Structure 1
Amino acid sequence: MTRLHRNLLFTLACLAAIAAIAATATYLLAPSAPDPQPAASASANALQAEGVFAAKARPVITLSATNYLGKQTYTNHPITQRVANALDTLGYDIQIMHNPGLRSLAMANSGVVDGELIRIRAVGTEYPNLLVVPVPLVVAGVGLYTHKRHPQVSKRSWHNFNAERFAAVKGMMLLEKLPPQFAHTPVIYAQGYQQAVHQVIAGRADLTLLPTSYVDRLLDKSEAAELVLLQPPLPPAEGFLHLHKRHEGLIQPLTRLLQEQSMQQNTSSIARSHAR
């Protein structure tokens, strides 16, 4: 190989090395492509802000209720709907749990659930952790009933009635309405209103205390015909929502909303009466 050839090969090798160095520098100095992840995150945030993604679940208020009718009494009850509407306005959902009477109170008082759906106002004196929402959800007539063939039925008055056994639903706060003369009468406890009625019809109890609306509207007509309502009428019972004290902040707004509901119902009732 001549000297000329060697010089030519050396020159070509140098040029190749320079080209490789230049290509490397170009790659290293070129601006990198944007990371797609931040853009994706930004898009996700934008969609969430616009409500495209599911909203965060709302807090739930769980209320216990007594299953006096032997079925899911308050699942679709008008009282439940009224409380649900008020809680919905305040940003809460409602859940109803049915429990036996005394257990229901104990669960609400201890804070296992958030409160009791419907109880008479006097409940707070024995269960200090329960706060009443001071708007009656229901005003119920209550009465003392005996069997139509009871030996003392002709008296027609509970004032002169001598009861040896009294049928009562266990945990029923309506017993607060029981006249004092029956305060020491032995009690036969029933699981629900219907069982109390059966105890009276069967002669195992002389009297029972029931909401008059239950006997008039819900009790089987053949069974209702077996009962006699003793006179005079007892004072009506008012039912209230009670909440555990940890929800004290809800008492005032719920009071206002339930009062507004009552006013609207009264206005609608007046309008209907004038339309007749």
Structure 2
Amino acid sequence: MSNALADSLPEISIGSTQSPSELSSLIEQRLQLAYQQLGYQPIFLPLPSERRLRLVRSQALDADLFRLCDLQNAYPDILMIPVPLGDFTLKAYALSSKTLENWQNNPRLIVVHIRGFKMAEQTHFAGKRLEVASLEQAFGLLQQKRADIVLEDEPSATAYLATATDWSEGSWYAAALNSMAVCHILGSHLQHLAEPLQQLLSQPNP
């Protein structure tokens, strides 16, 4: 689609991650093609995870790039497009491999993750939970030894650590916890787009 034609389409506002990765970029590309086929131009807005969900629920934002596919069970006021767009593996990151040994049963550990990150919120552990606004803050606390564990999905953490100048390969350790599928969500005011989006996203190349 030409830029001129795309610019003339009505816009759809989509909350996107503030921790971009190769997978999130691929999901954005896939959604852009699907929305343009339906006659809309998606505008991706990087926002904190918790705020994205809140804005979609209040219809101040049209859609969210992705959420756990089972999220609609907890939030019936959003529309989940039931097509998995990828799998995210949750990992625990630490400064030493010893810290990761049986860490979920250690009540002395401080475990940090981004506020509103559902995969981490659903993870149970004996230590103290600390929520922050960004990966920079989370890994900063880890580096300063003010936290013992960072919980983050592998694509986002890998992308962040690869570009962070104060983290070098081998200066951190990680352990995989679980893997969950993510799906695109819409605000309830866009119910008319749910079925056609599902059909397009179900195709290999929407």
Please tell me the residue identity of whatever aligns with 2:179.
Answer: P
Aligned equivalents of 2:47 and 2:112: distance in 1? Answer: 20
Alignment of 1:257 onto 2:200: yes
CA contact (8 A) 2:139 2:150 kept: yes
CA contact (8 A) 1:109 1:128 kept: no
What stretches of structure 2 of length at least 5 have no aligned partner? none
Aligned equivalents of 1:212 and 1:259: distance in 2? Answer: 25
Q: 1:85 aligns with which of 2, 20, 33?
A: 33
Aligned equivalents of 2:143 and 2:39: distance in 1? Answer: 48
Aligned equivalents of 2:104 and 2:116: distance in 1? Answer: 25
The alignment partner of 1:77 has SS state of helix
Q: 1:169 aligns with which of 87, 111, 114?
A: 114
CA contact (8 A) 1:101 1:171 kept: yes
Alignment of 1:63 onto 2:6: no
Aligned equivalents of 2:129 and 2:51: distance in 1? Answer: 19
Structure 1 pair 224–157 and aligned structure 2 pair: CA distance change class (3 A): farther
Residues 202-217 of structure 1 mapped to structure 2, 5 A cutoff = 202-217=144-159
Q: 2:134 aligns with which of 167, 185, 192?
A: 192
Please tell me the residue identity of whatever aligns with 2:42.
Answer: I
CA contact (8 A) 2:87 2:182 kept: yes
- The residue aligned with 1:181 is 125
Please tell me the residue identity of whatever aligns with 2:190.
Answer: H
The alignment partner of 1:91 has SS state of coil
With 191-200 and 237-246 compared, the bigger mean Cα shift is at: 191-200
Alignment of 1:226 onto 2:168: no
What stretches of structure 1 of length at least 5 have no aligned partner? 1-53, 266-276
The alignment partner of 1:96 has SS state of strand
Alignment of 1:109 onto 2:109: no
**Deviation of the 1:215 alpha carbon:** 3.9
Q: 2:184 aligns with which of 227, 241, 244?
A: 241
Aligned equivalents of 1:249 and 1:206: distance in 2? Answer: 46
**Deviation of the 1:257 alpha carbon:** 0.9
**Deviation of the 1:67 alpha carbon:** 1.3
TM-score under structure 1 normalisation?
0.63
Please tell me the residue identity of whatever aligns with 1:203.
Answer: K
**Deviation of the 1:206 alpha carbon:** 1.5
How many residue pairs were aligned? Answer: 198
**Deviation of the 1:187 alpha carbon:** 2.4
Across the aligned residues of Structure 1 and Structure 2, the Cα RMSD in angstroms comes to 2.9
Bigger fraction of residues in strand: 2
Q: Which of these two proteins has the greater Rg computed from alpha carbons?
A: 1
TM-score under structure 2 normalisation?
0.81
Aligned equivalents of 1:234 and 1:107: distance in 2? Answer: 29
